[in-house]
Structure 1
Amino acid sequence: MNLNFNQLWRYQDDFLHGIQTTLTLTLIATVAGMLIGLAGALLSNNRQPAVRLAVRTYVEIIRNTPALIQIFLIFFVLPFAGLRLPPFEAAALALSIYMGAYTVEIFRSGLASIPKSQIEAGLCLGLSQFQLFRYVILLPAMRNVYPSLASQVILILLGSSLASQVSADELFHTAAFVESRTYRSFEVYAVVCAIYFTMVLSLRLIFVGVERIAFRWPTRR
């Protein structure tokens, strides 16, 4: 097999744009998904059975259906309801909802891991409800679930390639475009594979650094 990577250099701007779009999709889905997850985790303990049922239904439906179908539903079905979204926005919304369903369970397990005695100690110190949630519940819970959250972000980064199916111009869609112009399938997808690997490895290093800085207080005496 005669390999030739030289033809790919003329498309470096396309690859850079694809990388930027992929990272932007990942960032939007991560931030929105974590907000959805935190809200859902708090509502899952609501006194109203209907609220708890709504959260549980959302989690079960999203977690037990393919992300690609969810993207298709938002991109192809919502226009029939009068809401037409461009490919990037549709993919970002679908990935945010998908991320949110998983982070609901992650945050819920983190909140449940906080001992009641720790909460009672905070109340005895006279902390307000906001201070109690911020310092006594949220930060220790975040430390407990941080590895799971980091893994989920990486899965979203890799799963963003599904957005190519609705023509969102992320990295995998760019690869298909370049391959159709150069007919160098192996070279194109080898480069894309290396780019994904580099992005994932970079994210892992960032997560390790953040963990050492943000969660460095001791856990035991």
Structure 2
Amino acid sequence: MSYEFDFADVFAAWPELLQGLVNSLVLSALAMAIGMVASVAGALGKTSGPKWLVWIIDEYIELIRNTPFLIQIFVIYFGLPSMGLKMSSNTAALLALVVNVGAYGIEIIRAGIESIQKGQIEAGKSLGMRPLQIFRYIILKPAIQAIYPSLTSQFILLMLNTSVCSAIAASELTAVAGDIQSRTFRSFEVYFIVTCMYLGLSVFFWTVFAGIERAFLRKPTR
């Protein structure tokens, strides 16, 4: 049985695909921004908080990192309404992404904080530096240098994970592709184009993040 490729219907729906792409990027950016705020708070709690708080954070990390992301979405979108917490599919998708990236972000940021030697901080204090100066000149840049590759990788993984949100009909790229496929019955063509779009986004962000690292975060050579 021969199959004739026909991309005409897919290209006709190009505006829909672009809107889905924009929605995926917005969802990724919002989730990453909110997730990083939660990650910083969690990392500080884990490194300097009381034991009960450390235990809660550890259990949260283990729960999220050892369960499928799809199940986490289903628990939030289908499970929480049974407790009276109803939300739209887009809101549920955002919350699921924040919860997921937060568990990984906590460990990444904790590693960055713990990579700073205490002797360097003590040296800054002995030189009469104020806490803000110590944070800015001694802690901030070395910590960012240490965790930057992991954070950028996490963002790209988060962006790709938005495709799973199509399972609850969130209005992102994969969900839009599903709608187009159901109208055109051109499964290969639709998902081939969407694959290329995700690949293009990944390559674009890898290039941008690598350029930022070379320009601002590269350690000086001796």
> Same fold judged by TM-score > 0.5?
yes
- Mean Cα deviation higher: 131-140 or 108-117: 131-140
Aligned equivalents of 2:49, 2:100: Cα separation in 1: 25
Secondary structure of residue in 1 paired with 2:48: coil
Map Cα deviations across residues 183-215 of structure 1 (whole Å, 9 max, x no partner): 111111110000000000111011012112321
Aligned equivalents of 2:47, 2:198: Cα separation in 1: 38
Map Cα deviations across residues 113-163 of structure 1 (whole Å, 9 max, x no partner): 111211111111222333322331122111111111111111111111011
Q: How does 1:54-69 map to 2 (within 5 A)?
A: 54-69=56-71
Secondary structure of residue in 2 paired with 1:44: helix
Secondary structure of residue in 2 paired with 1:89: helix
- Mean Cα deviation higher: 75-84 or 153-162: 75-84
Aligned equivalents of 2:136, 2:69: Cα separation in 1: 32
Distance 1:11 1:113, change over 3 A: same
Aligned equivalents of 1:216, 1:47: Cα separation in 2: 32
Aligned equivalents of 1:130, 1:60: Cα separation in 2: 33
Aligned equivalents of 1:47, 1:80: Cα separation in 2: 33
Aligned to 1:10: 12
Aligned equivalents of 1:47, 1:195: Cα separation in 2: 43
Of 11, 24, 27, which aligns to 2:26?
24
Which residue identity does 1:30 align to in structure 2? M
Which residue identity does 1:131 align to in structure 2? Q
Aligned to 2:74: 72
RMSD: 1.3
Question: Which ranges of structure 2 fall in alignment gaps of 5 or more residues?
Answer: none
TM-score by length of 2: 0.94
Aligned equivalents of 1:165, 1:127: Cα separation in 2: 52
What is the percent sequence identity of the aligned residues?
A: 42
Aligned to 1:137: 139
Which residue identity does 1:41 align to in structure 2? A
Aligned to 1:121: 123
Q: Show structure 1 runs of 4+ deviating over 4 A.
A: none
Aligned residue pair count: 220
Conserved in 1, the CA contact under 8 Å of 2:145 and 2:218? no
Distance 1:35 1:166, change over 3 A: same
TM-score by length of 1: 0.95
Of 192, 197, 203, which aligns to 1:195?
197
Q: How far apart are 1:81 and its partner, in Å?
A: 2.2
Aligned equivalents of 2:35, 2:7: Cα separation in 1: 38
